[in-house]
Amino acid sequence: MTDRVQSILDWIATVPLEELRKHPLHPQNRPEKMWRYYPAKAWLPPICQKNYGKWKKRRIIDPGIVEVTSETGDKLYLVKIIIPVRISTKSMYELLDLADKYGIGWIEASKMGNLIIMCDNEENARALAKELRERGYLVGGWGNRLWNIKICSTYITCTTAVLDAVTIEKALGDVLYEYTQKELPAKLTIKVSACPNACGGGFDAADIGIVGYPASIPMMEGWRIRVLCPPRSLLEACPVGDIKMIKDEKGRPIAAEIRGQVCMACGRCHDFCDAIAYDPAEIGVMVLVGGKCANTGVGPGMAKVFVPFIPAEPPRWPTLVAVIKKIIDVWVANAKKGERLRDFIERIGWDKFYELTGIPKPEDYIKPLDKAPGWTRYGWQPLYLRRTDENKRYIGTRISNDMMAISAAIFEDIIK
């Protein structure tokens, strides 16, 4: 410590706190230098700041335009553009220009991945929606409609991805396009995540969630480990200790191996090291239904696994698309007005919902597959059967080898 620093510390120790706070160098007196809380309200456009807490009425005047009215008499028109998670800079500049031309120059990015352009009069909002549609943008999704198919960032930025969520979004979007325009019983959200980390959602508050996961433990090229990452670090990355170190005759770590006994295919090792990969022939998705945040109906709740595994079929995902379409069509045909998917299923019962969709219940086809004695319960990935021996020790966590073929067979009728 230098003498100067020491002298400052000595001085600080002698000065009362109140005096210290008045010093011109105290951060409190230099707000421009401080890391400080920046109120969210400050980011709002002037019309929103003026009417903060005063909005009283909301009216949908077009599938893609909502009119909000303030008690001050001000009105705001929100034009919703349903976009994929990625958008080119060219499109972004195009939208910004349109926001300046028709709107008040502000764009909001919504939680479901949509862009909302704000206008201050109906004429401009309608003209904007018309021009957007003419340019090929999807304008819609307000109210009781499909709000968007939201996906995680998947391969482009993420090393954990099990599959490509973008192709799922495209395949589903092509089929579900009309639901962004036509009136449904209630709001509908779909979220897709390419691995069980679920950054894009799926396990939580989505009416329909799609989550990718591997149906077998990762493959490892043991010899490459020593080139690409230190084996000891790899061992530490595995939360269940399923990775074994291979040592040379002098006891030095030279490679690693996945034992496959308690591996739960979490993907941490895959994220950690490029010598570890999923077998592309053994990956797929689970489908979850009924998640929502709203306190309407039966209240908020997490989504539940509806179909535990559908093998990956990129790029058009025919089985998955058929299953999702079936779920929505059954809901649309049978739900009462205002009934979210979860409310509808809770009213008729989960068994009845399986019956109406024609999709078999998971326990009808998962349990009989495993004849190993003593297996106790499913893990968080429903296909991974955690088995124990007579002494209740775990002896393995593996998917049945027949599962892929059986999953394909049971959905054959639905695809037709």
Interacting residue ranges for ligand SF4, rule: CB under 6 A: 152-154, 158, 160-161, 193-195, 197-200, 217-218, 237-238, 240, 242-243, 258, 263-269
Q: What is the DSSP string of 56-75?
A: EEEEEEETTEEEEEETTS-E
**Residues whose CB is less than 8 angstroms from the CB of residue 67 and which lie 6 or more positions away in sequence, other chains included:** 58, 59, 60, 61, 75, 76, 77, 122, 125
Identify which of residues 239 and 358 has a Cβ nearer to ligand SF4 in the complex.
239
Give me the least distance between CB of 342 and ligand SF4, in Å please: 22
Q: Write down the residue that tokens 């003026």 correspond to.
A: 50
Three-state DSSP state, 96? helix
Can you list the alpha helix ranges (DSSP code H) found in 15-162?
17-22, 46-50, 89-102, 122-134
| DSSP class of 24 | T
Give me the least distance between CB of 279 and ligand SF4, in Å please: 12
Identify which of residues 163 and 321 has a Cβ nearer to ligand SF4 in the complex.
163
The most distant pair of C-alpha atoms in the chain lies apart, rounded to whole Å, by 83
Both tokens assigned to 155: 């391969």
Give me the least distance between CB of 134 and ligand SF4, in Å please: 34
Measured between alpha carbons, how far is 219 from 99 in angstroms, rounded to an integer?
Answer: 49
Identify which of residues 6 and 401 has a Cβ nearer to ligand SF4 in the complex.
401
Measured between alpha carbons, how far is 325 from 321 in angstroms, rounded to an integer?
Answer: 6
Identify which of residues 98 and 151 has a Cβ nearer to ligand SF4 in the complex.
151
Give me the least distance between CB of 354 and ligand SF4, in Å please: 27
Q: Write down the residue that tokens 């007196």 correspond to.
A: 29
Identify which of residues 103 and 209 has a Cβ nearer to ligand SF4 in the complex.
209
Q: How many Cβ atoms sit within 10 Å of the Cβ of residue 53?
A: 8
Measured between alpha carbons, how far is 100 from 88 in angstroms, rounded to an integer?
Answer: 19
Give me the least distance between CB of 153 and ligand SF4, in Å please: 4
Residue 148's φ and ψ, nearest 5 degrees, are 170, 170
Measured between alpha carbons, how far is 191 from 208 in angstroms, rounded to an integer?
Answer: 7
Give me the least distance between CB of 191 and ligand SF4, in Å please: 10
Identify which of residues 180 and 381 has a Cβ nearer to ligand SF4 in the complex.
381
Contact between residue 217 and residue 263 where contact means Cβ atoms under 8 Å apart: yes
Identify which of residues 102 and 213 has a Cβ nearer to ligand SF4 in the complex.
213
Give me the least distance between CB of 258 and ligand SF4, in Å please: 5
- Give ∠ CA 60-66-68 in degrees, rounded to 5: 105
Identify which of residues 118 and 238 has a Cβ nearer to ligand SF4 in the complex.
238
Give me the least distance between CB of 277 and ligand SF4, in Å please: 11
